[in-house]
Structure 1
Amino acid sequence: MQKTTTYAINTFHAHVYFDIQQTALAAQVREQIIQDIPQLTYRGQLIPMSIGPHPKPMFELHIPADCINYAMASIDTLRQGLSVLIHPLLADDYLAHTAEAKWLGTPLPLKLEVLR
């Protein structure tokens, strides 16, 4: 019998990636998402460089679990071609950014060695 693990997930992170030449577009997408999803618990500023496991400039949003389905649909509609990583907030960052992650748009290679 296979053992299954369950997690109590309260929050999701969304990382919206952009190229530096797309900074104005990313700022516009960020504002549209913030307007459409008032339940966001964190609305990060644009980060114009690669940091941590993230391969490109990005901005981060925190989404309560009880509105993740609406938020994912909204972000997918508003992302204007930008790639978005959505993952649960877990004690195991590697698991959160891999097996438990979902991509909207083109998946990007993360710097996973940072999470080990």
Structure 2
Amino acid sequence: MNDKEGVIGLYGCYCHPFKSWEDHKHYDKQKIPIGSIVKIRCTQQFAIIESLKDYSGYVHINILPCTVERDKTIEHNSNLIQSKDFTDSDKTLFNKLKRKQLNQLSII
């Protein structure tokens, strides 16, 4: 595997592959608590977990700032990055979001 290749996985995308199968397994098996702010792997947008869809790994999310109905969507948890795995620049944006009042969201 060269530097530009990676693991796609069942729910992944070609534009943002996983680094390895271990990386894929890490994200595929992660448990994300409801109310957590996450980053969507493909779009690089931040979202908040609204609820678990079922036991297949999909969750209902609200893409921040969630101002229109289409911001409420479903995503597989393997495509979501939790705050503990954020890069330094992600952590800066995350802290700004955390400080804001998320009262525009219908779930809180």
The answer, yes or no, to whether TM exceeds 0.5 is no
Larger RCO of the pair (alpha carbons < 8 Å, separation 6+): 1
| TM superposition score category, shorter chain reference | under 0.3
Give TM-score, length-normalised by structure 2.
0.27
More helix by share: 1
- Could you tell me the TM-score, scaled by structure 1's length? 0.26
